[in-house]
């Protein structure tokens, strides 16, 4: 597709939003759903909006959930426990300026500003399914870069067996942190091979725009084959560590939220079934897929592991 336009107009400016969405679904379809889609997507014109320039990346061909739903139905307990709280109560949060510390078992630890991080990495749009541990799901067009690229840049040593994520602690800007629902700051973690997997994304944007506060601005983790809570939001520190790190939900209720938390219809949450999910916008529940449908690419990471034990 070749569109001629004035230098400061982007495709988004001249295209009706719904048409734009349809077209990107089509393009994602043409690009295929394999990892090879990255190369095909790159041939497409670069998208630029609100300072984010990105190419098409590995994506599902499913219809993205409307932006209104993605930005108004959130679990982000730092802003409150109701799904509407993050959209309503994140107005005072300042995601810029922002720095991230990357340290631990690596040769080149560093602290980097969010704008430099965005500039230094090649951004891609990736449309991923997101399955919440509560039994609902969305299809979300993220913009970001593989975590792998960031980790490689600090040269991990052989002692780097896990990656620990620490998120921001700002009770003055995050009203939910005034109450110990979880042990703040929120922490998450991945095994190093999970963190280095090409599907694991550091997201900085959503629907082509800069990430809204309620979705984890300015920088969040997205691991599409795991339950949504593994995707730590508003990250301030990424540490390469030798031991399995403490994670927030696992600390609160270890029997209910495992360290791995891979989407698995065969392992129920102790209090509810994980066999089905409600896709936001749909009436009937649909079956939940092992690894949220990403098994083809990630199941090998867990070969030989009993996923009922390591849930």
Partner 1 sequence: MASHPKGAVKKRPSKLRDNLVYALVWAACFAPVVWLAWKGYAGALGANPIEALIRQLGVWGLRLLLIGLAITPAAKILKKPRLVRFRRTIGLFAFSYIALHLVSYVGVDLFFDFKQLWKDILKRPFITLGMLGFLLLIPLAVTSTNGWVIRMGRAAWSRLHRLIYLIVPLGVAHYYLLVKADHRPPLVYGAIFALLMGWRAWEAWRVSPGSAAGTGRPARR
Return the CA Rg of the chain.
Answer: 19
Please, what is the minimum distance in Å from the beta carbon of residue 97 to partner 1? Answer: 31
Out of 4, 243, 284, 308, the only residue in the binding site for partner 1 (CB under 8 A) is 284
Q: 3-class DSSP state for residue 46?
A: coil
Backbone angles phi, psi at 163, to 5 degrees: -125, 130
* Closer by beta carbon to partner 1, 157 or else 273: 273
Binding of partner 1 at residue 183 (CB under 8 A)? no
d(CA 245, CA 239): 10
Question: Judged by CB under 8 A, does residue 252 bind partner 1?
Answer: yes
When binding is defined by CB under 8 A, the residue of 30, 48, 53, 72 that contacts partner 1 is 72
| Binding flag, residue 88, partner 1 (CB under 8 A) | no
* CA end-to-end distance (rounded Å), the chain: 45
Q: Which of 53, 241, 280, 289 binds partner 1 (CB under 8 A)?
A: 280
Q: Does 273 bind partner 1 (CB under 8 A)?
A: yes
Residue 54 vs 227, nearer CB to partner 1:
227
Contact between 84 and partner 1 by CB under 8 A: the answer reads: yes
Q: Does 175 bind partner 1 (CB under 8 A)?
A: no
Contact 247, 91 (CB under 8 A): no
- Nearer to partner 1 among residue 116 and residue 268 (C-beta): 268
Closer of 11 and 78 to partner 1 (Cβ): 78
Six-digit token pair at 109?
């630890």
Identify which of residues 57 and 86 has a Cβ nearer to partner 1 in the complex: 86
Q: Does 83 bind partner 1 (CB under 8 A)?
A: yes
Give exposure, 243-279, as e/b (b: 16+ Cβ within 10 Å).
eebebbbbeeeeeebbbbbbbbbebebeeeebeebeb
Count CB atoms within 10 A of the CB of residue 44.
Answer: 15
Position 77 contacts partner 1 (CB under 8 A): yes
Q: Is 272 in the site for partner 1 (CB under 8 A)?
A: yes
CA separation, residue 156 to residues 103, 242, 263, 295, 309 (Å): 9, 11, 28, 27, 29
Pair 130, 140: CB distance under 8 Å: yes
| 285 binds partner 1, rule: CB under 8 A | yes
Task: Give the SS3 label for residue 188.
Answer: strand
* Cβ proximity of 206 and 107 under 8 Å: no
The pair of structure tokens assigned to 304 is 């030989």
Which residue from 134, 173, 193, 209 is in contact with partner 1, where contact means CB under 8 A? 134
Shortest reach from residue 296's CB to partner 1, in Å? 28
The residue (of 23 and 285) whose beta carbon lies closer to partner 1 is: 285
Residue ranges binding partner 1 (CB under 8 A): 65, 68-69, 72-73, 77, 81, 83-84, 134, 136, 179, 181-182, 252, 268, 271-273, 278, 280-281, 283-285
């Amino acid at each position: 597709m070749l569109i001629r336009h004035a230098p400061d107009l982007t495709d988004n400016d001249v295209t009706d939003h719904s048409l734009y969405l349809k077209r990107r679904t089509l393009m994602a379809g043409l690009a295929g759903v394999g990892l090879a889609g990255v190369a095909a997507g790159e041939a497409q014109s670069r998208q630029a909006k609100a300072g984010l320039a990105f190419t098409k990346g590995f994506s599902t061909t499913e219809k993205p959930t409307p932006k209104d739903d993605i930005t108004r139905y959130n679990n982000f307990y730092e802003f409150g426990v109701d799904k509407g709280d993050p959209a309503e109560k994140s107005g005072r949060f300042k995601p810029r300026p922002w720095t991230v510390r990357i340290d631990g078992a690596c040769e080149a630890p560093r602290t980097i500003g969010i704008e430099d991080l965005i500039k230094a990495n090649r951004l891609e749009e990736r449309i991923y399914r997101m399955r919440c541990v509560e039994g609902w799901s969305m299809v979300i067009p993220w913009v970001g870069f593989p975590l792998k690229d960031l980790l490689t840049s600090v040269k991990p040593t052989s002692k780097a067996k896990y990656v620990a994520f620490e998120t921001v602690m700002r009770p003055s800007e995050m009203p939910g942190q005034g109450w110990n629902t979880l042990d703040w700051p929120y922490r998450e973690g991945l095994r190093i091979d999970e963190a280095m997997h090409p599907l694991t994304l550091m997201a900085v944007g959503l629907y082509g725009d800069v990430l809204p506060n309620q979705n984890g601005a300015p920088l969040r983790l997205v691991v599409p084959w795991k339950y949504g809570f593994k995707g730590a939001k508003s990250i301030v520190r990424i540490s390469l560590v030798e031991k399995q790190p403490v994670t927030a939900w696992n600390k609160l209720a270890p029997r209910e939220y495992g360290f791995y938390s891979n989407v698995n219809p065969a392992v129920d949450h102790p209090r509810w079934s994980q066999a089905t999910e409600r896709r936001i916008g749909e009436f009937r529940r649909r079956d939940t897929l092992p690894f949220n449908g990403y098994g083809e690419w990630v199941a090998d990471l867990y070969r030989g592991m009993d996923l009922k034990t390591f849930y």
